[in-house]
Amino acid sequence: MVLSVFVTSGKIVGMIEKTTLFKILITLLACVSLIFVAYRVCVRLNVNVNTNSGEKDAEKVSKNEGQNTDLYEVSPISDYPEVGERPVCNVKTSEKIISLSFDDGYNYENTKKIVDILKKNGNLKATFFFCGNAIDSDIKSAKIQNRENSVELVHNAGHEIANHSNSHPNFKKLTKEKMEKEIESCNKKIQNITGKRPVLFRFPYGSHNKESVGVVKKLNMYPVDWNIDTLDWNKKSSCDSICSSICKGYKTGNVSYPHPGSIVLMHTTGKYTPEALEIIIPVLLKGGYKIVTVSDLVLSASDKGANNK
């Protein structure tokens, strides 16, 4: 069989002139080369198209999903108004603008409720003062429960993250070195999660003196107190007592609203804090109040001067 084909081929080859055979071979070779080049080009194009519209786009999407444009932008300390020997507890302004601040950072479930209520009421922004120890314990629980940690929750929701020391000590009893350690240790823990060093610092128990305020300022941070204490941490507090501390007569038509420029102190651990927020935020909004972060409050009133206790 093979032999007969070979013989037949030989006969055919013999019938064709050698020059013609050469031309056919060259043409065939050119065609094969052309097809091969075309194939390579197509394969290359395909790879590029797939990479651009496929993998790379998928990569972009996942990156965009990870990026939250709502994240709170920390302003440089140079933007803040001068602060004296005491932390800022409110600002002078005639604008109906106030801040809600939440201390300590313990209790993820409560923190989540607070974040949800702020979002539900028009994506309001607040300031959360975290303790370093609260961050540590929450990170451990978050790993066990396979969830985000509290700082991530608050940061990703666009709120301001601030420093409330590492272990919540009384700053009046600390050496300057220990004060610095307390503040910087908490800063690092926050920065490890958010990538940003906080600007605001709140003394535990509001306990401070000239020396401790000096340390905060030396670290390029801004000391902040409050002028409305809801006492929501106290076991004797109730939803009604918390609401009344912010807006007296909130149940009646004769509501007594807080001074414009006020800073309200609350806690992430407050048993009735979420419940009270559900009631009092709509009251404040109805009264024409704008609710902003503590930094935004201080920065908005920078030309009017910050007020101290």
The footprint of Zn ion (CB under 5 A) covers: 103-104, 204
Between 103 and 250, name the residue whose CB sits nearer to Zn ion. 103
Element (H, E) at 202: none
Cβ–Cβ under 8 Å, residues 266 and 56: no
Between 189 and 257, name the residue whose CB sits nearer to Zn ion. 189
Pairing of strands 306-308, 88-91: antiparallel
Q: How many CA atoms lie within 13 A of 123 on its CB side?
A: 6
Between 104 and 138, name the residue whose CB sits nearer to Zn ion. 104
Q: How far is the CB of 165 from Zn ion (least distance, A)?
A: 8
- What are the strands, taking DSSP E only, across 152-239? 160-163, 200-201, 222-223, 228-229
Cα dist. 147→115, 136, 159, 260, 281 in Å? 15, 14, 19, 38, 28
Q: Which residues are CB-contacts of 165 (< 8 A; sequence separation ≥ 6)?
A: 131, 132, 171, 182, 183, 186, 201, 203, 204
Between 103 and 232, name the residue whose CB sits nearer to Zn ion. 103
Query: How many angstroms separate the CA atoms of 240 and 78, rounded?
Result: 40
Element (H, E) at 264: strand 263-267
Q: How far is the CB of 205 from Zn ion (least distance, A)?
A: 7
Cβ–Cβ under 8 Å, residues 147 and 183: no
Q: How far is the CB of 243 from Zn ion (least distance, A)?
A: 21
Q: How far is the CB of 204 from Zn ion (least distance, A)?
A: 5
The residue at minimum Cβ distance from Zn ion is: 103
Q: How far is the CB of 179 from Zn ion (least distance, A)?
A: 16
Between 103 and 182, name the residue whose CB sits nearer to Zn ion. 103
Q: How far is the CB of 91 from Zn ion (least distance, A)?
A: 22
Between 80 and 203, name the residue whose CB sits nearer to Zn ion. 203
- Helix axes 239-246 and 273-286, enclosed angle (nearest 10): 30
Between 105 and 260, name the residue whose CB sits nearer to Zn ion. 105
Q: How far is the CB of 224 from Zn ion (least distance, A)?
A: 12
Could you write out the DSSP letters of every residue in 75-133?
Answer: PPGGGSPP--SS-EEEE--SS-EEEEEEEE---HHHHHHHHHHHHHTTS---EEEE-HH
